[in-house]
Amino acid sequence: MDAPYAILEPLEDGIARLLARNPSPYTYTGTQTYFVGGETEAIIVDPGPDSDDHVTAMLEALGKRRLVAIACTHTHRDHSPASRPLKAATGAPIIGCAPLSLEATGPRADAAFDRDYAPDRVLEDGETLFADGIVLEAVATPGHTSNHLCYAVGGALLTGDHVMGWSTTVVVPPDGDMGSYMESLDKLRRREDRVYYPAHGPAIENPTRLVRHMIGHRMQRERQILKRLEAGDSEIGEIVANCYPGLDPRLVPAAGGSVSAHLVELERQGRVERMEGDRWKPA
Ligand SMILES: [Zn+2]
């Protein structure tokens, strides 16, 4: 894919971007690592996958600057593993999202998680870090994962996987939570940031409009699922077939995960009931 791999791209005062070479259907052109800071200090956000190429590119981009902190938005394997070689090379602490211990097998299993992530310090909502006088503030945004943080820098927001322009964010149980995701979208709607820089895909100008649109889209999907249950559908497969006509077969599992996330949230609200064998009915 033609993309600016290993090239540090200045975006605005205090923020630059470095793309890792891990393109895929889930990562678009790859993971975008952000550098926040000035001429003498920097914070690296989302160091990305543990690839020698990308670690070398990050160290080159850092140059003689002091690395104040390595911060991750969440612990999917395309975001946090390079925190370890980067810490080993620079001595900088890993400060940011909480560690998540999901099982390797069983109902809490998720192979996409970086199980070796080990932060030196966890940032709570509203806590700040500084690099050359530039402030980076943690904004707790659970939903895509329960430990997801966005980072505000001036009027810009580094959104990780919470909001992306190129694709709908995957929210799949057990760790993904549609209720939390909707609340986190509403939190961003009220912030009114100037621009979003996601971990994958291009910057989002006029982001509040996109967030409103996303909230509307998810609410519409929820109504559609309730309608299907009222019409007699009970299995997730049936609901997917009726709500996503003509869907690429490769995307059926992701759509099933999303329907499942909606059902779990509707169950929490007392609007649907779970029956035997992962079948559902209106409450
Ligand atoms: Zn992710």
Residue 108 has pLDDT above 70, yes or no: no
E strands, 113-194, where? 121-122, 128-131, 134-140, 149-153, 156-160
CA of 76 to the centre of ligand 1 (A): 5
Q: Which residues of the chain does CATH 3.60.15.10 include? A: 9-205
Superfamily name with CATH number, domain 9-205: Ribonuclease Z/Hydroxyacylglutathione hydrolase-like (3.60.15.10)
CA of 178 to the centre of ligand 1 (A): 15
- How does pLDDT run across 137-151, given as a tens digit for each residue? 999 999 999 999 999
- How does pLDDT run across 208-223, given as a tens digit for each residue? 999 999 999 999 999 9
pLDDT number for residue 263: 96
The C-alpha atoms of residue 10 and residue 8 are separated, in whole angstroms, by: 7
CA of 41 to the centre of ligand 1 (A): 27
Structure tokens that stand for 202 in this block: 């291009």
- How does pLDDT run across 240-261, given as a tens digit for each residue? 999 999 988 888 888 999 999 9
| Between 39 and 113, residue with greater pLDDT | 39
Q: Which residues of the chain does CATH 1.10.10.10 include? A: 216-282
Asked if residue 243 lies in contact with residue 267, where contact means CB atoms within 8 angstroms, the answer is: no
pLDDT bin (cut points 50, 70, 90) of residue 106 is low
CA of 161 to the centre of ligand 1 (A): 5
Among the four given CATH numbers 2.102.10.10, 3.30.750.80, 1.10.10.10, 3.40.1360.10, the one describing domain 216-282: 1.10.10.10
CA of 66 to the centre of ligand 1 (A): 28
pLDDT bin (cut points 50, 70, 90) of residue 104 is low
pLDDT number for residue 25: 80
Give mean pLDDT, residues 118-134. Answer: 97
Nearest Cα residue to 232 out of 269, 277, 279: 279
- How does pLDDT run across 257-273, given as a tens digit for each residue? 999 999 999 999 999 99
| Between 110 and 20, residue with greater pLDDT | 20
CA of 135 to the centre of ligand 1 (A): 24
pTM (2 d.p.): 0.93
Asked if residue 78 lies in contact with residue 50, where contact means CB atoms within 8 angstroms, the answer is: no
pLDDT number for residue 40: 98
CA of 89 to the centre of ligand 1 (A): 25
pLDDT bin (cut points 50, 70, 90) of residue 112 is confident
CA of 195 to the centre of ligand 1 (A): 20
Please name the amino acid found at residue 117.
Y
CA of 144 to the centre of ligand 1 (A): 7
**Helix residue ranges, H only, the chain:** 52-62, 83-90, 178-191, 207-230, 236-243, 252-268
- How does pLDDT run across 149-200, given as a tens digit for each residue? 999 999 999 999 999 988 888 898 888 999 999 999 999 999 989 999 999 9
- How does pLDDT run across 35-87, given as a tens digit for each residue? 999 999 999 999 999 999 999 999 999 999 999 999 999 999 999 999 999 99
CA of 200 to the centre of ligand 1 (A): 10
